């Protein structure tokens, strides 16, 4: 990162580049990116584990049509659940995890999705990242989304090095990511949802573009 740029200039350029990249190459049409339903976001996060976006798209809408809420899924048998999600693989494990999620939501929250990070993290299988994604999409709370790929970008672009064993949990990086988020709600959501599950080749290309842009702007 060029030394001649102030932190605010670095943040502004980084923000602009991420939003531009998202418009050009981000996976904007994914149904779980365009929903205000916390349940739909949670379901997507469970289905996307250890499989591909293409596979999940084959079952996602059918799943939500049959189980539009936690109580609907809780009333179903594991066999019914497995029948829909079988194309994704490890259907026994997924069905069990989804049932546990639905049971907790039904018993503790009346089938509603909480809009508090601490409460979301009490749900089985939900950590910081998924909680932040639910808060952003369903609760209009622009919490920073920081996965392993994005922490690499933040570290490289801003020249920081986390001392954490799990860098994506570093509060300093999370705070910097939050500062980089635009103020306008629409732009803020685009920035935060910049296709978190990027392939490495796309991530490396994005980092290179950011660096080239910053170098040009500092001349």
Task: Report CA torsion sign: 109, 111, 116, 117.
Answer: positive
Asked if 195 and 22 touch (Cβ cutoff 8 Å), the reply is yes
Across 184-205, average pLDDT:
50
Mean pLDDT rounded to a whole number for the chain: 78
Tokens standing for 192? Answer: 């935060």
For residue 197, what pLDDT is reported? Answer: 43
pLDDT band at 204 (very low <50, low <70, confident <90, very high): very low
Burial class (CB in 10 A: 0-12, 13-18, 19+), 155: middle
In this model, does residue 163 exceed pLDDT 60?
A: yes
Residues 147, 152, 158, CA angle at the centre, nearest 5°? 120
For residue 97, what pLDDT is reported? Answer: 96
**Calculated CA dihedral for residues 52, 57, 60, 65, nearest 10 degrees:** -170
For residue 167, what pLDDT is reported? Answer: 59
For residue 129, what pLDDT is reported? Answer: 84
DSSP E strand stretches across the chain: none
For residue 175, what pLDDT is reported? Answer: 64
Q: Which residues, including other chains, have CB under 8 Å from residue 48's CB and lie 6 or more apart?
A: 56, 197
For residue 155, what pLDDT is reported? Answer: 72
Closest C-alpha among 113, 152, 110, 145 to residue 130: 145
Q: What is the pLDDT of residues 102-141, one digit of tens each?
A: 999 999 999 999 999 999 999 999 998 899 889 988 998 8
pLDDT band at 183 (very low <50, low <70, confident <90, very high): low
Across 62-80, average pLDDT:
96
Q: Name the percent of the chain lying above pLDDT 90.
A: 44
In this model, does residue 194 exceed pLDDT 60?
A: no
Across 74-96, average pLDDT:
96
Q: What is residue 63's three-state secondary structure? A: helix
pLDDT band at 176 (very low <50, low <70, confident <90, very high): low
Task: Report CA torsion sign: 99, 105, 110, 112.
Answer: negative
Across 95-108, average pLDDT:
97
Q: What is the pLDDT of residues 22-59, one digit of tens each?
A: 667 655 578 998 899 999 999 999 999 999 999 999 99
Q: Considering only CA atoms, give the Rg of the chain.
A: 19
Tokens standing for 105? Answer: 């939501």
Tell which wins on pLDDT, 158 or 203: 158
Does pTM surpass 0.85? no
């Amino acid at each position: 990162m060029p030394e001649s740029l102030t932190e605010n200039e670095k943040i502004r350029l980084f923000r602009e580049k991420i939003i531009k990249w998202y418009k050009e190459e981000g996976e904007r049409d994914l149904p779980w990116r365009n929903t205000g339903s916390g349940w739909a976001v949670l379901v997507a996060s469970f289905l996307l584990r250890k499989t591909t976006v293409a596979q999940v798209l084959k079952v996602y809408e059918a799943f939500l049509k049959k189980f539009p809420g936690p109580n609907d899924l809780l009333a179903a048998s594991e066999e019914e659940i497995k029948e829909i999600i079988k194309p994704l693989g490890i259907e026994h494990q997924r069905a069990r995890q989804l049932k546990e999620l639905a049971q907790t939501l039904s018993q503790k929250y009346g089938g509603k999705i909480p809009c508090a990070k601490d409460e979301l993290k009490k749900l089985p299988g939900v950590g910081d990242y998924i909680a932040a994604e639910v808060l952003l999409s369903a609760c209009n709370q622009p919490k920073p989304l920081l996965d392993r790929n994005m922490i690499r970008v933040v570290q490289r672009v801003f020249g920081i090095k986390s001392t954490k064993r799990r860098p994506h949990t570093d509060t300093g990086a999370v705070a910097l990511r939050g500062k980089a988020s635009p103020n306008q709600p629409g732009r803020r959501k685009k920035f935060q949802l910049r296709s978190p599950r990027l392939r490495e080749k796309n991530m490396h290309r994005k980092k290179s573009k950011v660096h080239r842009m910053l170098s040009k702007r500092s001349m």
